[in-house]
Amino acid sequence: MSIRILAALAIATAGAVVSSTAAAISPAELQTSLAAEARQADPAFREFSAQRGETFYRAKHGGDWSCSTCHTDNPAMPGNHAVTNKAVKPLAPAANPDRFTNPEKVAKWFKRNCNDVLKRACTAQEKGDLVAWLLTVKP
Amino acid sequence: MKATLLSAFLLIAATGNALAGSHVYGPFPADYVEECGSCHVAFPPQLLTAPGWQRVMEQLDKHYGADASLEDKRRTAIADFLRRSASTRDKHAPTEASARLSRTAWFAREHGPTPPAKVSFAECTACHTAADRGDYSERSIKLPAGWRRAR
């Protein structure tokens, strides 16, 4: 095998590693995979509800915080962290197109924030409802 | 001799240590800033000892009232960076189980026991206006009107 081929292979492999961690998705693709997950958990699952998502967003779920505590009543607006006051960028994709495009970040923040607000993991139905509503929020 | 001095200097520069008295830290690795600089500024690792950082990193799921958990690979890499860059001085040692950086002897001496009203000690930028760039120098400090450091 020539050095040139080896070098090309090395570059291709390195590229694959980078793209596998950075593979961007659209919020619609996220909804498709959440829907598959929701159907698996409950065969009676039909579709996500933006209205249920909004109720979920504003509820305190028995604790001190709701989603809106940091993300504000209007998720198209920037917010502030409840403890540290650090700026939080808007959550609604229409106001911040980076939101819900990186599956690793989506998983990380749902895990953390669901634990903070609900003291448990969110279901696929809850996540899908929430994203369905956020996609309807216009700046 | 010259080579030794030069490599010592390069080592200090590479670990992101602030040069003595400059109060400017970093730059820090991108994954550290991304993961530990979302909810608060990425704190200078030099302000807590290695056992302190270890304690912080072992309880990320219960991080001062919030879940800050990380997937294992990233957590290990960041814990490694913190251990390498940590302080070795007693004044930066943790003083309680959760190893708050804001409870070390050094922090208490510099800041007093209580932050200004409506400010958390985790909100460095409230007074250190350039803390998001690792700059804690005197010239970038802006204290709330009327606030005096208690002793």
Distance CA A95, CA A20 (A): 26
In this structure, is residue B28 part of a structural domain? yes
CB of B39 less than 8 A from some CB of A: yes
CA-CA distance, A81 to B119, in Å (whole number)? 12
Q: Is A15 strand, coil or helix? A: helix
Residue B13 has a pLDDT of 45
Mean pLDDT score, B19-30: 83
Look over chain B and give the mean of its residue pLDDT values, rounded to a whole number: 88
B45: in domain:
yes
Q: Over range B106-114, report the average pLDDT.
A: 94
Q: Chain B window 7-36: which residues touch A at a Cβ cutoff of 8 Å?
A: none
- Whether residues A115 and B41 touch (CB distance < 8 A) is answered with no
Q: How confident is the model at residue A23 (pLDDT cuts 50, 70, 90)?
A: confident
Asked if residue B146 belongs to a domain, the reply is no
Q: Is the dihedral angle over the CA atoms B8, B9, B15, B18 positive or is it negative?
A: positive
B36, part of any domain: yes
End-to-end, the C-alpha distance of chain B in Å comes to 45
When computed from its CA atoms, the radius of gyration of chain B, rounded to whole angstroms, is 16
Tell me the pLDDT band of B144, cut-offs 50, 70 and 90.
Answer: confident
Q: Cβ atoms within 10 A of the Cβ of B116, count?
A: 18
- Select the more confidently predicted residue: A16 or A74: A74
| Eight-class DSSP state of B101 | G
Question: Which residue of chain A is at minimal alpha-carbon distance from B122?
Answer: A84
Chain B partners within 8 Å of A112 (Cβ):
66-69
**Chain B touched by A89 (CB under 8 Å):** no
Q: Select the residue of B41, B122, B126 nearest A83 (Cβ to Cβ).
A: B122
In tens, the pLDDT along B51-97 reads: 999 999 999 999 999 999 999 999 999 999 999 999 999 999 999 99
CB < 8 Å to B64, chain A:
83
| Interface contact B122-A113, CB threshold 8 A | no
The per-residue pLDDT for B149 is 79
Query: What angle separates helix A124-134 from helix A50-58, to the nearest 10 degrees?
Result: 100
Cβ(A133)–Cβ(A126) under 8 Å?
no
Domain count, chain B: 1
Contact A53, A130 (CB under 8 A): yes
The C-alpha atoms of residue A16 and residue A13 are separated, in whole angstroms, by 5
B6 within some domain: no
pLDDT value at B14 more than 50: no
| Residues 6 or more apart whose Cβ sits within 8 Å of residue B11 | none
Q: Does B56 touch chain A (CB under 8 A)?
A: no
Range(s) of the domain holding residue B91: 22-140
Model confidence over B120-142: pLDDT tens digits? 999 999 999 999 999 999 999 99
Q: Show residues of chain A in contact with B40, CB under 8 Å.
A: 81, 84, 86
Q: Which domains does chain A have, with CATH numbers?
A: 26-134 (1.10.760.10)
pLDDT higher than threshold 60 for residue B3: no
Give the pLDDT confidence score for residue B150 in this predicted structure.
Answer: 74
Looking at the domain assignment, is residue B145 inside a domain? Answer: no
Contact B40, B124 (CB under 8 A): yes
